[in-house]
């Protein structure tokens, strides 16, 4: 489930980057705007992923 959610976020960010490309702006100066909702979701997923790496689920 976690991998799927992280892939979903990656897809949204990649789409935003493609939509934000402007040929008149040098690559290093391009920027992409993302919503606060997406930022919050990304932060939650990263924190959850870190938590799972520190405390992996125990099979019973």
Number of domains in the chain: 1
pLDDT tens digit string along 2-29? 566 777 777 777 777 666 666 676 766 6
Instruction: Decide if 20 is inside a domain.
Output: yes
Q: What is the domain extent for residue 28? A: 2-54
Instruction: Return the structure tokens found at 58.
Output: 């125990």
Give the pLDDT of residue 43.
83
- Sign of the torsion formed by the C-alpha atoms of 18, 4, 55 and 47: positive
pTM of the model: 0.47
Instruction: Decide if 59 is inside a domain.
Output: no
Instruction: Decide if 60 is inside a domain.
Output: no
What percent of the chain shows pLDDT beyond 90?
0
Regarding predicted confidence, which is higher, 4 or 32? 32
């Amino acid at each position: 489930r976690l991998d799927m959610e992280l892939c979903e976020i990656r897809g949204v960010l990649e789409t935003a980057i493609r939509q934000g490309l402007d040929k008149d702006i040098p690559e290093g100066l391009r920027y992409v705007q993302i919503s606060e909702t997406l930022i919050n979701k990304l932060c939650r997923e990263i924190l959850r992923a870190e938590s799972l790496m520190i405390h992996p689920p125990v099979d019973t």
